[in-house]
Amino acid sequence: MNKFYSLQDAVADIPDQATVASTGVIGWITPDALLKAIGDRFEATQAPRNLTFYFPCGTGDAMYIGGMDRVAKKGLMKRLIAGSYINPRHPETGERPKVMQMIHKDEMEAYTWPIATSMQWLREVARRSPGYLTKTGLGTFIDPDVTGGRFTPSATDDLVEKVSFKGEDYLFYPTWDLNYGIIRATSADANGNLSFENEALVSSNLAIAIAVKASGGTVIAQVEREVPRGSRNIHDVQLPGSLVDRIVVVEDQAFCTELERDPNYLGEQRIPVSDLPKPPPGADKIIAARAAEAVRKHELTIFGFGASGDIPLVMAEQGLLAGDQVYDYEFTTEHGSYGGVVMSGWQFSANINPEAVIDGITQFDVIEGGLCKLAALAFAEFDEGGTVNVSKFGTANPGSGGFVNIAHNAERLVFTGTFTTGGLRTSVANGKLCIEQEGKVKKFVKQAQHITYQVKEGIKERNQQVFLVTERAVFEVDEQGLALIEIAPGIELEKDILQQMEFRPYRIAEPLPLMDASLFREDYVE
């Protein structure tokens, strides 16, 4: 039986109303050519129509690796459920991603689920169980008493239910069939056995394939080459051909955004830590350097996007990871790369010089099991009631990614971000910080626009320790609320802190300690 197809033939029979699941983490491991083939077929024939797409994570960068933007066409995409969305403007055209444009115009039913939920739900589809049951997310945006994960007015169906089980409330995600799985690997043989040797991540490939096959559906894989049967060690073959129906060879499939195939992400060689790129100067670098003080040796630490993702690179620049010292630290992200150094920007999610990589659904078992003791995550808003928002603010609808699951299960949390946003400019001199231009948007608000995580609940119920680190102040959160515990040298308490907040901290340390002057180096700020 021939499993190799052309791009066009591989997707030619996808019918109207089908459900299609696909994988990818920004630009990593994205089956971009297959997704483009679906979009191209629709442009040429106006078929298939009214598909439901299921992306456990934000797939593609909406620029050079289009990903989910390839199928973001009115009439083709009826419904989208995604663990996260891509929102930045294209650097050349200034255009927002097509998915985000459709959301703003309400041209499809858009939902967002926490990434761990979106991956673990696949396991329940594969098991043909009634659905996925969890406490994680109660009281947040995914709770049907809040928004039920809806992102557009046309998203009216209840995809999430609140149920009582043994006297306690849970969130329940009913399962439904997945008709097609669009996945990606590196190599395939004639039997369809897949290996991932040129991929820095595995993500949800295995979970999607199993869930689709259990649904009676069709799995289509994009690879860069065909290899002879029996030419690979069996431990290299992670997805057996019994779970793969069609294969398309795309020899030039992109490795990652702005990155050619790099053996340092694959364990084939190791780049000296001293040669790693330095985070660009700016407020985020100050924040990352201060937040790095929370990182402990021999403790599994998970990093999120933004300033928190810069922490390992700042530590590398400071010489803390030189030589064998790097093995004293256990760094990971929500996507399953372990060891080495977490990278930032478009390369975030994979580690350089990794020691191991596991698939996405297994990684979230690690996270939900509370094994990541420290989590460093970004924040877009923090409100008086102790709510953190990263999922929806202003015209940005990025979704929560793995934030909800990571925050819920860590013992210690460090939320990082600038104090204000929208035009903030800073400078430093003589170990002091100066606000050259204040941001237009306040991030410490009376009420957050979206409930991504409720910090006080984590403190009360799970005894979490929580801090917020900004470029000009450090806060601790306890059951009573937000406490100001450090201020940057050069910063005025009233003008630069309190007047830039919509509420006052319930406590201000007296005397108020200064942040370490060594953080405010002239090479840290433009």
Residue 230: CA count within 13 A, CB half-sphere = 0
- Position of tokens 């006052």? 504
Neighbours of 511 (CB within 10 A): 6
> Residue 225: helix, strand or coil by DSSP?
strand
Give DSSP secondary structure letters for 396-443: B----TTHHHHHHH-SEEEEE--SEESS-EEEEETTEEEEEE--SEES
Residue 459: CA count within 13 A, CB half-sphere = 17
Longest alpha-carbon distance in the chain: 76
Q: Is 107 a catalytic residue?
A: no
The Cα–Cα gap between 35 and 55 comes to 12
The residue annotated as part of the active site, out of 124, 199, 330, 334, is 334
With residues binned 3-state (H G I as helix, E B as strand, rest as coil), the percentages for the chain, rounded to 5, are 25, 25, 45
Torsion of Cα atoms, 116 then 118 then 123 then 128, to 10°: 150
**Single-letter residue type at 405:** N
| Pairing mode, strands 19-22 and 51-55 | parallel
- Position of tokens 């097609």? 180
Cα–Cα distance list, 370 to 202, 378, 387, 399, 462 (Å): 22, 19, 21, 22, 11
Torsion of Cα atoms, 110 then 116 then 120 then 121, to 10°: -20
- Position of tokens 């409720």? 454
Neighbours of 518 (CB within 10 A): 10
Angle at 522 between CA 521 and CA 525, to 5 degrees: 95
CA-nearest of 17, 19, 20 to 34 is 20
Residue 481: CA count within 13 A, CB half-sphere = 12
| Pairing mode, strands 51-55 and 77-82 | parallel
Q: Which residues are catalytic?
A: 334
